[in-house]
Structure 1
């Protein structure tokens, strides 16, 4: 799994660099920041709460015309949620490789951005406590949860920020469009529908001049 994950990350990074090399005016940058991530949806029999995680990656900016540019990115993003109920108290950690492709408009130091995002699940884990039985009470859980979640995620992203010189400060919200739950209820009627919701704040550095 680790080997496959590294190969996937290297492939996406290589494709992004090739895209930059093929565009004479392309600019490359790096970015990193914090996530406020939660799994929201329907038919969830537990409370889901935001958890603080992080993301990091690179971007390529491709000028189109005037203040408009297109910005593909490759980001590693740790997402998931806290799950709380009378029977469970655990965190789900979802490791994603996300590829947003954003339309970006910059006027002075202020910019706004929006577009689709495609995500590949690299791995999933659950850790915390679960109620084992009335006699045994609660026990710890720390296990792989790869089979509980679908391998792809589609989302819409939108954000804004300021760019002064080569320094970028921004905030973004991404809303998952598809149900990522991959565990079916026994009767098939009330399956939980889980969707990624992520609030991001980030710092970036752009290399080269505009």
Structure 2
């Protein structure tokens, strides 16, 4: 993973007529999908960061990005109503094909969990006691694996230096890391994120 994180600065150093820096930001519609109850819902968050588009041949480019991405889900039932927020540093490495102003993109994404928090109304009593619910906020990094691997696919328009795009990121690995003896808490959670973004490229096309 460390070697992959070093890839983006190396490519940025190759800023020539064949490549362009860019800044991007946008909205996330995220959920944790898996063997979980139906009360989990998509929640709107955000992402922001850098991109570098390096032209390979003809309409084909390589586009690595380095993004801060807030993801997670909303859990809502008759008893609980809270948000799970997962803060990631993500590195998509995308193949991009452009035809006129239209482009499509796809490839893998590697993510590192920075921090995680549950906040809202949830069960606060200890196991084996009478169920009690209350408003609370707690760090939950230990409930999730530090690494996340996703596959990404998207499309968009290039209008001069401005990119308008949409993308879907499908988590491949189970990020749940809650452990107990019986294993009944293995919810097999996967990140699912729809992204809409605006980017501005710098330099010559």
Asked if TM exceeds 0.5, the reply is: yes
Provide the aligned length of Structure 1 versus Structure 2.
199
Residue 30 (str. 1) matches residue 18 (str. 2): no
Q: Which residue of 2 aligns with 1:86?
A: 78
Secondary structure, counterpart of 2:142 in structure 1:
helix
TM-superposition CA deviations, 1:105-135 (whole Å, max 9, x none): 0000000000000000000000001134586
Alignment of 1:64-143 (within 5 A): 64-132=56-124, 137-143=132-138
Question: Going by fraction, where is helix more abundant, 1 or 2?
Answer: 1
Gaps of 5+ in 2: none
Deviation at 1:84, TM superposition (A): 1.9
CA separation of 1:139/1:36 partners in 2, compared to 1, >3 Å: closer, same or farther?
A: same
Aligned partners of 2:56, 2:105: CA distance in 1, in Å? 14
Deviation at 1:186, TM superposition (A): 3.7
Q: Which residue of 1 aligns with 2:50?
A: 58
Q: Which residue of 2 aligns with 1:48?
A: 40
Residue 172 (str. 1) matches residue 167 (str. 2): yes
Alignment of 1:2-21 (within 5 A): 12=5, 16-21=8-13
Deviation at 1:17, TM superposition (A): 3.3
Flag as ranges the 4+ runs of structure 1 deviating above 3 A: 131-137
TM-superposition CA deviations, 1:19-73 (whole Å, max 9, x none): 122363221000000000000012x145210000000000011111000000000
Aligned partners of 2:77, 2:177: CA distance in 1, in Å? 21
Aligned partners of 2:177, 2:131: CA distance in 1, in Å? 29
TM-score normalised by the chain length of structure 2: 0.90
Q: Is the 8 A contact 2:178 2:185 kept in 1?
A: no
Deviates more, 1:135-144 or 1:33-42: 135-144
Aligned partners of 2:77, 2:179: CA distance in 1, in Å? 20
TM-score normalised by the chain length of structure 1: 0.88
